[in-house]
C-alpha cells in the first residue's frame, strides 16, 4: 500500500511540475486548445479593448477634434485665350488651345464660427470660383476676404450655420521631436490624417515665401494638403501646411508648415483691414560674407550688411549708409537677412525704433521710423 501511494505521489508531483513549466514558458499551448461546447468547437481568443476604449498611444482624439474643421477647397479658373490663339502658325507650334477651365485642389481650416477659413494664397490665387467642401459633406461658395503673397496665406469666408472650428495652439512652444498630425485632402482622395514629429524649427532661405519661418515635419504631406492643418496631440492648430521637398511629386518626409503665430497675425490683418501692414525701411540687405566684408572694409563677422539704401527712404533719413552692418533691431539680434526682414516687418509703421549699427568698427545706434511695406508683385510659383 505504501509503495502504491509513493508511486502516485511522485507521478502527481512530476505532472504538476510539468504543468507549471508549460504555463510559464509556453502559455499559448494551454490557451489554444479547442474545447467542445454543445458539439461545436469554441476557440479561446485574446482579450481586446472594450467598445469606446482608446488604445494606448492612439491619436484618435486629436484627429477627431481637428478633422471636422478641416475642409477641402476646389477652385476653377476660366480659360483665357491668347490674342493669337487663332493664328495658324500659333496652332502649328502650340496646338489648339481649348476652352477647358483650369481646376485646382487644396485644403483649408475653419478658424471662426463666422465662417473664416485659413488657407494658402497659392491655393486660391487667380481662381474665378471657389467651392468649399466640409467634412460633413456640406458645400458652400468661398469668398476671398484677403490674400498675403508674402506669407503665402489667404482668408476665405463661407456662409453656413453651425460650423465646426479648430482651436488655435501655441506654435512658439513647439520643440523638435513633438508629435504632430497633418490633415488635408491629398491628391483629392478625401480627407486624410498622417502622423509624424517636428523635424526642425525656423526653416528659412527656401525661396518659397518672402517671410519664412517654417515648421518642418516628416508627417506625410502631398499635393492637395496645401492649406490644411498641422495639429498637436490635443487637436490644436500649430500650423498651415504649405510646401514639400520632393523629387517625385509625392511626400519624401520633408514638409513645411507656416506657424500659427504668423497665420494669426495675417488673419487679423486681412479680416480687419483687408491687408497685412508691415514695417519697411528701404534697404538692400545681404548676408555678411568675407567678400562683402573685404569690399566694404568691414571687420565684424556677425550681422547683415547693407549694400544699397533707397534715397529718401526711412533708412536713408535715419542715416543708414551702404556698408553699415545692422546687428540689432530693437531688442532682437540680427544674424541673417531673413531675421532682418522679419524684425523690420513686425515693426509698427510710424513708431521710431533703435537700430544697432556697426560702421567701419564704430558702434552706432540710429533711430529709424519705418514706413509701410509696399504691396508685393504677384508671386510666380
60-75+99-157 matches 279-372 in fold: no
**Is 3.40.50.970 the CATH number for 60-75+99-157?**
no
Q: Which CATH code for domain 279-372?
A: 2.30.42.10
* 41-52 pLDDT, tens digit each: 455 555 666 666
Helix boundaries (H) for the chain: 2-25, 27-31, 60-67, 88-94, 121-124, 260-273, 290-296, 314-318, 337-345
Catalytic entry in 67, 74, 107, 122 = 122
Residues paired with residue 356 on neighbouring β-strands, in sequence order: 328, 365
> From the CB of residue 268, how many other CB atoms can be counted at a distance below 10 Å?
12
Catalytic entry in 107, 226, 251, 342 = 226
Catalytic entry in 150, 152, 218, 232 = 152
Q: According to the per-residue pLDDT averaged within each range, which of 10-14, 28-32, 103-107 is highest? A: 103-107
**Is 1.10.3720.10 the CATH number for 171-273?**
no
Instruction: Please give the mean pLDDT across all residues of the chain.
Output: 83
Q: Is 152 an annotated catalytic residue?
A: yes
What percent of the chain shows pLDDT beyond 90? Answer: 46
How far is residue 66's CA from residue 64's CA, in Å, rounded to a whole number?
6
pLDDT at 229: 94
**Burial state string for 253-267 with b = 16 or more CB within 10 A and e = fewer than 16:** ebbbbbbbbbbebbb
pLDDT at 278: 87
**Residue for grid cell 556698408:** 323
Does pTM surpass 0.75?
A: no
Q: Is 136 an annotated catalytic residue?
A: no
Closest CA to 266 of 378, 138, 155: 155
C-alpha cell at 114: 463666422
Domain extent listing, the chain = 60-75+99-157, 171-273, 279-372
* 256-314 pLDDT, tens digit each: 999 998 899 899 989 988 888 889 999 999 988 888 888 888 888 888 999 999 999 99
Q: Which of 194-198, 249-253, 322-326 has the lowest mean pLDDT?
A: 249-253
Amino acid at each position: 500500500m505504501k509503495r502504491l501511494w509513493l508511486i502516485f505521489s511522485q507521478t502527481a508531483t512530476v505532472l504538476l511540475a510539468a504543468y507549471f513549466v508549460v504555463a510559464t514558458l509556453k502559455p499559448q499551448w494551454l490557451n489554444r486548445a479547442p474545447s467542445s461546447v454543445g458539439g461545436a468547437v469554441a476557440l479561446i481568443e485574446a482579450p481586446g479593448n472594450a467598445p469606446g476604449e482608446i488604445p494606448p498611444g492612439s491619436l484618435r482624439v486629436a484627429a477627431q477634434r481637428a478633422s471636422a474643421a478641416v475642409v477641402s477647397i476646389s477652385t476653377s479658373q476660366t480659360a483665357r485665350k491668347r490674342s493669337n490663339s487663332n493664328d495658324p502658325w500659333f496652332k502649328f507650334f502650340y496646338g489648339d488651345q481649348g476652352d477647358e477651365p483650369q481646376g485646382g485642389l487644396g485644403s483649408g481650416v475653419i478658424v471662426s464660427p463666422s465662417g473664416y477659413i485659413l488657407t494658402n494664397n497659392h491655393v486660391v490665387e487667380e481662381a474665378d470660383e471657389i467651392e468649399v467642401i466640409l467634412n460633413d459633406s456640406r458645400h458652400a461658395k468661398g469668398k476671398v476676404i484677403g490674400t498675403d503673397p508674402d506669407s503665402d496665406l489667404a482668408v476665405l469666408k463661407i456662409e453656413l450655420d453651425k460650423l465646426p472650428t479648430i482651436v488655435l495652439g501655441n506654435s512658439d512652444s513647439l520643440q523638435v521631436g513633438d508629435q504632430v498630425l497633418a490633415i488635408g485632402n491629398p491628391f483629392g482622395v478625401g480627407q486624410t490624417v498622417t502622423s509624424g514629429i517636428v523635424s526642425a524649427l525656423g526653416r528659412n532661405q527656401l525661396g518659397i515665401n518672402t517671410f519664412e519661418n517654417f515648421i518642418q515635419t516628416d508627417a506625410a504631406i502631398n499635393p492637395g494638403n496645401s492649406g490644411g492643418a498641422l495639429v498637436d496631440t490635443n487637436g490644436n492648430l500649430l500650423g498651415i501646411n504649405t510646401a514639400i521637398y520632393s523629387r517625385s511629386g509625392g511626400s519624401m518626409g520633408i514638409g513645411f508648415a507656416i506657424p500659427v503665430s504668423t497665420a494669426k497675425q495675417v488673419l487679423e490683418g486681412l479680416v480687419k483691414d483687408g491687408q497685412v501692414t508691415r514695417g519697411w525701411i528701404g534697404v538692400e540687405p545681404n548676408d555678411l560674407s568675407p567678400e562683402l566684408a573685404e569690399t566694404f572694409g568691414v571687420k565684424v563677422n556677425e550681422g547683415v550688411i547693407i549694400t544699397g539704401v533707397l534715397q529718401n527712404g526711412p533708412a536713408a533719413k535715419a542715416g543708414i549708409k551702404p556698408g553699415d552692418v545692422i546687428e540689432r533691431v530693437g531688442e532682437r539680434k540680427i544674424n541673417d537677412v531673413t531675421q532682418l526682414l522679419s524684425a523690420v516687418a513686425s515693426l509698427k509703421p510710424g513708431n521710431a525704433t533703435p537700430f544697432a549699427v556697426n560702421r567701419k568698427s564704430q558702434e552706432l545706434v540710429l533711430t529709424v521710423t519705418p514706413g509701410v511695406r509696399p504691396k508685393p508683385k504677384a508671386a510666380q510659383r
